[in-house]
Chain A
């Protein structure tokens, strides 16, 4: 699984291009758990047609494996990445 790193406190934007007919349904999971839209998670399809998950103000607990799963009447598939949240260079205490 490919690894990406973002800095603590920044947003992490995950983009996944999906094809299929009929248009697949997309769900995002983190470490196996379904991600629902909320205060820190934004889920949308962007203007170029990428399914996008934005995790706002990343924290250490956002470390993990993120999966984009697509399904339609003809089948299902998924892509995964590993996110690691690195501490900022300057720590304010």
Chain B
């Protein structure tokens, strides 16, 4: 054990697990090693493998972190390490395994699995016509905001167009009118999103657009300006 490093964080627990992210919470270590804890690193490991992957590049300060980039339907365990100026703690005990899936799907599973079955593929010819672009997403809200991340959620539009909708999230520094697309590569399929890499102290507004094969729709009403900082408006983290 490194002299002066904190002891391991405690009680890594998964909350609000769905197919897009799992919020991991924990309790701060009993011993900080003599200097303040600068933050935490969260690691994930797919159940059935022994390969731990660090989820955040910079330490997070609060005992709470939304892990993204999970494969839907796969199960993961999480552990947390604390860091101070002397070094890194041992990892916490791993959390209970949790599957990256929506609660309704998890309830339907009831613990058993069945191998996939694929039906006959049916091919149809379609006339290339201009499709219907989906309307605006509704009721966009910031559900969590810390200096490390912001979580957004919204409702699908009334006007849906033909097929599956995907979403693009945009951010804008408050006071300007320069909107920037956040998820340029990965379209979001469900009505929620966790954003990282915002500048601390800056104030942002967010909005969301729907898209389908016909094109990209009008943006939702933007959120109120949200300051990126250590101001938490969430249920208090365990151990605080």
Chain A window 9-51, contacts with chain B (Cβ cutoff 8 Å), 1 for yes, 0 for no: 1111111111111111100000000000000001011110000
Q: Tell me, in angstroms, the Cα distance from A46 to B213 when the chains sit together.
A: 12
| A-side contacts of B122, CB under 8 Å | 14-16
CA distance A40 to B113 in the complex (A): 35
The reply to whether A19 and B116 contact each other, CB–CB distance below 8 Å, is yes
Q: Which residue of B lies closest to A69 (CB)?
A: B118
Contact B115 A20 (CB under 8 A): yes
Which residues does chain B contribute within 8 Å of A80, judged by CB atoms? 121
Is B121 touching A22 in the complex (CB atoms < 8 A)?
A: no
Docked complex Cα distance between A42 and B125 (Å): 14
B109 at interface by CB-CB < 8 Å = yes
| B112 beta carbon closer than 8 Å to chain A | yes
Residues on A with C-beta less than 8 A from B166 are 44
User: With a CB–CB cut-off of 8 A, which chain B residues contact A81?
Assistant: 120-121, 123
Contact indicator B123/A74 (Cβ below 8 Å): no
Query: Within residues 55 to 86 of chain A, which ones have a CB less than 8 A from any CB in chain B?
Result: 56-57, 66, 68-81, 83
A-B residue pair count with CB separations less than 8 angstroms: 126
Q: Cβ of A93 < 8 Å from any Cβ of B? A: no
**Are the C-beta atoms of A19 and B114 separated by less than 8 Å?**
yes
Say whether B73 faces chain A, with CB atoms less than 8 Å apart. yes
Bound form: Cα–Cα A42–B126 in Å = 13
Cβ of B22 < 8 Å from any Cβ of A?
no
- Whether A6 and B125, one on each chain, are in contact in the complex, defined by CB atoms closer than 8 angstroms, is yes
Contacts of B99 in A (CB 8 A): 22
CB distance from B213 to the nearest CB of A (A): 5
Is B124 on the interface with A (CB-CB < 8 A)? yes
Structural contact, A52 and B163, CB atoms closer than 8 A: yes
Give every chain B residue within 8 A of A24 (Cβ-Cβ).
73, 116
Is B232's beta carbon under 8 Å from chain A? no
- Residue A91 CB within 8 A of the other chain: no
Considering the chains assembled together, what is the distance between the CA atoms of A18 and B121 in angstroms? Answer: 10
Q: Check if A22 sits within 8 Å of B73, measured CB to CB.
A: yes
How far, in whole Å, are A54 and B128 apart by their CA atoms in the complex? Answer: 11
Contact: A70 with B118, CB < 8 Å?
yes
Shortest C-beta distance, A62 to chain B (Å), equals 11
Q: Select from chain B the residue with minimum beta-carbon distance to A24.
A: B116
Inter-chain contacts of B126 with A (CB < 8 A): 10-13, 54
Question: Once the chains bind, are A74 and B128 in contact (CB under 8 Å)?
Answer: no
New A-B pairs, 4, CB < 8 Å, besides A12-B126, A17-B118, A42-B163: A15-B124, A25-B73, A44-B164, A54-B213
Q: Which residues of A contact B (CB under 8 A)?
A: 2, 4, 6-7, 9-25, 42, 44-47, 52, 54, 56-57, 66, 68-81, 83
Chosen A-B contacts, 9 in total, with CB atoms closer than 8 Å, are A2-B120, A12-B124, A12-B125, A16-B122, A44-B163, A46-B163, A52-B164, A72-B116, A77-B118
Closest A-B pairs by Cβ, 9 of them: A75-B115, A20-B116, A22-B73, A44-B164, A4-B123, A70-B116, A24-B116, A17-B119, A11-B126
